[in-house]
Homo-oligomer: A and B are copies of this chain.
Amino acid sequence: MDIEQANKEVLRRILDAQPVLVGVAPAREVIPRMGERTILHAGPPITWERMSGPMRGAVIGGILFEGWAQTEEEAVALVERGEVTFDSCHHHQAVGPMAGVTTPSMPVYIVENRAFGNKAFCNLNEGLGKVLRYGAYSEDVLARLRWMRDVLGPVLAAALERTSGIDLKSLIAQAIHMGDEGHNRNKAGSALFVRVLAPSLVRSGADAATLADVFEFLGNNDLTALNPVMAACKATMDAAHGIPGSTIVTAMARNGTDFGIRVSGLGDRWFTAPSQVPQGLYFPGFKAEDANPDIGDSTITETAGIGGFAMAAAPAIVQFIGGTPRDALNATLEMYEITAGENPAFGIPALDFRGTPTGIDVRKVVETGIVPRVNTGIAHKQAGIGQIGAGLVQPPMECFEQALLALAEAFDAPDEPEQVSGETA
């Protein structure tokens, strides 16, 4: 195994990806191996016993939404009797922001990576305030989820059927020229998304009142584009996964308890360590002690070279997460130290259109001591409350150290001892 060759191939696959949004459908109809009474969640696999408050809240909400139980107590009892199957979104070609809870009836975006033929999925963004993904499950949260299932999802599906697909790589590239980094700031991407979908939405056959609701829902949420962008990043990184010998990270994800990574050359194994509490700006009335450890699959954006890695493109984000525009510039510059290449499709204007740093190399992370820069929302640690801030989080170095150790072991196989010393030094 030649590590440099393997990483070159991984980088090529990332840069060649062509993620296109092709549809919206109920999760059960499109997500592979999604059984009934299955709940997918963000991050590496986790049991109910180890789930954090917001993850438990989202699970309870998902059960109530599906009608598998009528009360919180019944929902918990159902879980404790083992009648609900949990699995990681990532095990089903899917991702979900924050708790990432995806149940069979929920509509999901379908993104096809046209360069490689694989698909990825992500649920629909609920907007801000009290939302399931931050662990809230009050009646208004559930009513919104039902509207998304019964109205928003079918209208988006009908609209997308009238397009040849929405080119998400182009959308991300434009948004990066417009002050987005694609993770915490998706204002430009969301406005472009509504704009490009608008003609097909009005042709979808929905009546004017419904269309007005849909436009208001999509248009009042600057994170509307986050979920299709996440699916685009997942479709990109899945096609780059599984290259023997590669030391490049293909997933970073958090379940609110553990932070986990996967590496292209190390199969389906997760390398996990305790998730950290983010540092950032809190909404009025909240403070760091209220915060849950880092949660969500949205780190797929950083894994694919945007999000925190494209901070230099999004100086206005510091108003939301803290710091100065100079810090944002430096964040991107630092990420070039730990990545395999640059993505010319995502040029950063403030850096003379230099491509975003792309392809986290576990060797470089461990050698330099620089962990990937991750932007994130901050959830309250109790179920049912929701978002309390936004900021930055440090992925635990242990994940990268474990992965490097596993790579060394893999290369220690007797048939090819030479590459080990040559490539990992």
Contact = CB atoms under 8 A, between A and B. Distances in A.
Contacts of A319: 353
A202 interface: yes
* Total copies of this chain within the assembly: 2
A199 B179 contact: no
A324 interface: yes
A386 to B, nearest CB: 25
Interface stretch (A47-55, A211-219, A389-397, A405-413): A211-219
A325 B315 CA distance: 14
Contact of A194 (B174, B195, B200, B213): B195
Contacts of A191: 188, 191-192, 194-195
Chain A contact surface mostly:
helix
Interface residues of A, number: 38
A256 to B, nearest CB: 31
Contacts of A188: 178-179, 188, 191
A177 B219 contact: no
A208 interface: yes
Given A179-B178, A198-B198, A198-B219, A315 B212 contact: no
Interface string A310-333: 000001101100001110000000
Contacts of A200: 212
Given A187-B178, A349-B179, A350-B315, A203 B195 contact: no
Contacts of A213: 199
A415 interface: no
Contact of A219 (B199, B208, B219): B199
A196 interface: yes
A180 B316 CA distance: 13
A289 interface: no
Given A179-B177, A315-B349, A349-B179, A215 B202 contact: yes
Contact of A352 (B178, B196, B219, B325): B325
Interface of A: 174, 177-180, 187-188, 190-192, 194-196, 198-200, 202-203, 205, 208-209, 211-213, 215-216, 219, 315-316, 318-319, 324-326, 349-350, 352-353
Given A195-B219, A325-B349, 20 more contacts: A174-B187, A178-B178, A179-B179, A179-B188, A191-B191, A191-B192, A191-B195, A195-B215, A196-B219, A198-B198, A198-B215, A198-B219, A199-B216, A199-B219, A200-B212, A202-B202, A203-B208, A315-B350, A325-B350, A326-B352
16 contacts: A178-B316, A179-B179, A188-B191, A190-B195, A191-B191, A194-B194, A194-B195, A195-B195, A195-B219, A199-B212, A202-B211, A315-B350, A325-B350, A325-B352, A325-B353, A350-B350
